[in-house]
Amino acid sequence: MTEVREPAIDAVPIDAVLSALADPVRLTFVRALDAAGDWTCGSDVLGNTGIAIGKSTLSHHIKVLREAGLIRTRVDGIRRLVTLRYDEVEQRFPGLLAMLRERGPASP
């Protein structure tokens, strides 16, 4: 198997998406994936964002995001690569990803 099971985009409830994005770690993670734009190793994203959490915690967050339909996980040999399900998310929740790029007024 080269793909990890993920829900169909139409089967994901908005509730799950909101809950998934309500966590600061996961929000930062999604923003980083959005900026990266390509398949990325999960632990690499950690390094890029400066988030300091254990690997089991990271695994947990990735699972939540995957079950919320936001990301996809691909098995590549010894590691797992993740990516935003960009087009699908945009189709189902138009404008959502653009919203997340909004950093808000806190940018000194």
Partner DNA sequence: CGAACGGTACGACATGGATCGAACATTGGG
Partner DNA sequence: CCCAATGTTCGATCCATGTCGTACCGTTCG
Binding site for its own copies (CB under 8 A): 10-15, 18-19, 21-22, 24, 27, 92-96, 98-100, 102-106
**44/90 with CB nearer its own copies:** 90
Report helix, strand or coil for 7. coil
Minimum CB distance to its own copies, residue 108 (Å): 14
**27/96 with CB nearer DNA:** 27
Residue from the set 57, 74, 91, 98 that interacts with DNA by CB under 7 A: 57
> Tokens 């398949």 correspond to what residue?
39
Binding of DNA at residue 106 (CB under 7 A)?
no
Can you tell me the distance from the alpha carbon of 90 to that of 75, in angstroms, rounded to the nearest whole number?
24
Query: CB under 5 to 8 A by kind: which of DNA, its own copies, none does 105 bind?
Result: its own copies
Alpha-helical segments (H) within the chain: 14-21, 24-36, 42-49, 55-67, 86-92, 96-101
Q: Where are the beta strands (DSSP E) in the chain?
A: 40-41, 71-76, 79-84
**Direct distance between the N- and C-terminal alpha carbons of the chain, in angstroms, rounded to an integer:** 46
Binding of DNA at residue 74 (CB under 7 A)?
no
Query: CB under 5 to 8 A by kind: which of its own copies, DNA, none does 97 bind?
Result: none
